């Protein structure tokens, strides 16, 4: 393929993606009017809305992450206002999908408030396991007139909460990939600013910062979603590649762009810790926080750890920026996060109580409390607050990433992703270890993915991702 073809193909793909994002935003915008109009007709008050559900007990599915600790701190206030008792079950991410799916398929409704990762929404929604939010938005007794769906970053509402143009969840625990770095290590090597592109990181910063047992960069690559999302897909997108052709759903990992990204990852490994293939988020954040690694690309929520004096030795030297730019001169930051949704199998009164909690904890009114408690809100307004901007230096980079560079299909959201993710995690790790070449690994994955997506490719299923 010549350069012009390649460029035109890339441009076309990008145009489609931007179009999708814009369409999603427009879709979200049209949807918000319904609850607002209905709600204006009455004077709405949370305590009054919760009156019929006083004494109802609901269970929420939470993770062991800062955003959930933040929400737990807010629960007593909600319980006091509403009289609804909110229990929470804290689970490691690795077991979250399995635990919830078993609950859904067993019909046990153990959790009334369901946690939906960006890559689970297609599966949960298409299977009918979560309730379309219209049911609550159209109920004037429950819908808050200040709900303001437009106030969410459009990309978050689209990616985390929407499937096939129907809203199922409200963005709750929101991440963008950001570049965190150690200013002192960079300054000692003669750099005043972090690398602006991946190529610069490889050619200039890598050799200068990798010495004396310290490493220029760490790319979390442990087998699991960390490998498939944080490591593999990050590099595929950065060099113009993609998992699939968005129009035909044919696998695209063997394209020159995708292979370039994956080969770049292999080359960059010389500037990473030798056991990087076993590094998860914790090890990567600690690598930076303990001064062993100069630069990492991690989720925004990790700023809390990097600047916590009890966990970090670089509090004064920590800095943050947008992820480095890819081959096209644009950053392609990773996108991840969760929405909260209501379990279809829960009884009506629990569904209503669960919705009231979700609406409240993700509201604009509570966004500042949520951020101050350690969460990363998906509300745009909170990042305009001078106190928040002053206190959280990552806010500017985060807002810019979501507003300008976010990719709503960083990972496809259809129900087959967990299966594909398992395969990528396995073969991606093998590639990094050199057990299989980049080309052979990509071809093997393409073949496996083609088999999994056969129904989409043959047109038997709508091509939603």
Which residues are at the interface with another protein (CB under 8 A)? 94, 97-98, 101-102, 105, 123, 127, 222-224, 273-279, 283, 286-287, 290, 292, 415, 418-419, 422, 426, 429-430, 432-433, 435
Nearer to another protein, 100 or 359 (CB): 100
Report in angstroms how near the CB of residue 175 gets to another protein at its nearest.
21
- Taking the complex as a whole, the smallest distance from the CB of residue 185 to another protein amounts, in Å, to 16
Smallest gap from residue 102 Cβ to another protein (A): 8
Q: Which residues contact 263 (CB under 8 A, 6 or more apart)?
A: 438
Structure token digits, residue 146: 């200040």
Residue 114 gets which letter from DSSP?
E
Cβ closest to another protein, residue 359 vs residue 429: 429
CB nearer to another protein: pick between 100 and 380: 100
Of 13 and 223, the one with the shorter C-beta distance to another protein is: 223
By C-beta, is 55 or 107 nearer to another protein? 107
Least Å distance, CB 120 to another protein, is 10
CA distances (Å), 203 to each of 116, 197, 424, in order?
A: 39, 10, 27
Q: Which is nearer to another protein, 94 or 164 (CB)?
A: 94
Q: Which is nearer to another protein, 279 or 355 (CB)?
A: 279
Q: What minimum distance in Å lies between the beta carbon of 439 and another protein?
A: 17
> Residue 399 CB: number of other CB atoms within 10 A?
16
Q: Are strands 318-321 and 169-182 parallel, antiparallel or unpaired?
A: antiparallel
Least Å from the CB of residue 213 to another protein: 8
b/e per residue, 141-165, with b = 16+ CB within 10 A? ebbbbebbbebbbbbbbbbbbbbee
For tokens 């007709």, the residue is: 41
In the complex, the smallest distance separating the C-beta of residue 227 from another protein, rounded to whole angstroms, is 8
Q: Residue 19 — φ and ψ, nearest 5°?
A: -60, -40
Nearest to 323 by CA among 186, 458, 195, 464: 195
Which of these, 418, 206, 185, lies nearest to 195 by C-alpha position? 206
**Contacts for 223 with CB less than 8 Å, ≥ 6 apart:** 277, 425, 426, 429
């Amino acid at each position: 393929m010549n350069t012009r073809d390649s460029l035109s193909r890339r441009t076309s793909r990008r145009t489609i993606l931007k179009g999708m994002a814009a369409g999603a935003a427009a879709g979200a915008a049209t949807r918000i009017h319904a609850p607002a109009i209905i709600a204006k007709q009455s004077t709405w008050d949370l305590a009054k809305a919760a009156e019929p559900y006083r004494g109802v007990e609901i269970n929420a599915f939470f993770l062991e992450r800062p955003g959930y600790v933040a929400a737990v701190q807010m629960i007593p206030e909600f319980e006091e206002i509403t009289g609804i008792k909110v229990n929470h079950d804290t689970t490691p991410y690795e077991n979250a999908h399995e635990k919830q799916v078993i609950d859904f398929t067993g019909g046990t409704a153990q959790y009334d408030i369901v946690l939906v990762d960006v890559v689970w929404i297609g599966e949960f929604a298409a299977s009918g396991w979560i309730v379309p939010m219209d049911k609550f938005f159209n109920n004037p007794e429950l819908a808050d007139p200040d709900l303001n769906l437009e106030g969410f970053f459009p990309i978050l509402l689209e990616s985390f909460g929407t499937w096939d143009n129907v809203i199922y969840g409200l963005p709750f625990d929101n991440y963008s990939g950001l570049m965190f770095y150690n200013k002192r290590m960079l300054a000692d090597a003669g750099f005043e600013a972090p690398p602006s592109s991946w190529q610069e990181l490889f050619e200039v910063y890598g050799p200068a910062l990798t010495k004396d047992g310290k490493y220029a960069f760490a790319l979390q690559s442990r087998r699991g979603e960390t490998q498939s999302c944080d490591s593999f897909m990050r590099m595929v997108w950065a060099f113009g590649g993609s998992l699939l052709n968005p129009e035909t759903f044919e696998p695209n990992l063997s394209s020159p762009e995708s292979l370039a990204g994956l080969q770049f990852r292999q080359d960059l490994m010389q500037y990473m810790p030798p056991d990087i293939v076993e590094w998860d988020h914790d090890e990567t954040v600690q690598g930076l926080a303990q001064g062993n690694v100069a630069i990492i690309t991690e989720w925004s929520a990790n700023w809390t750890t990097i600047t916590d004096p009890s966990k970090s030795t670089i509090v004064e030297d920590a800095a943050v920026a947008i992820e480095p730019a890819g081959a096209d001169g644009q950053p392609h930051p990773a996108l991840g996060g969760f929405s909260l949704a209501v379990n279809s199998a829960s009884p009506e009164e629990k569904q209503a109580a669960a919705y009231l909690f979700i609406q409240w904890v993700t509201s604009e009114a509570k966004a500042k409390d949520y951020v101050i408690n350690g969460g990363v809100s998906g509300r745009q307004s909170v990042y305009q607050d001078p106190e928040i901007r002053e206190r959280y230096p990552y806010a500017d980079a985060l807002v810019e990433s979501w507003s300008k560079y976010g990719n709503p299909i960083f990972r496809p959201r259809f129900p087959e992703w967990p299966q594909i993710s398992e395969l990528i995690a396995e073969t991606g790790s093998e590639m990094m270890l050199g057990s299989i070449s980049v080309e052979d690994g990509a071809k093997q994955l393409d073949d496996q993915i083609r088999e999994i997506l056969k129904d989409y490719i043959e047109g038997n299923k709508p091509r939603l991702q």
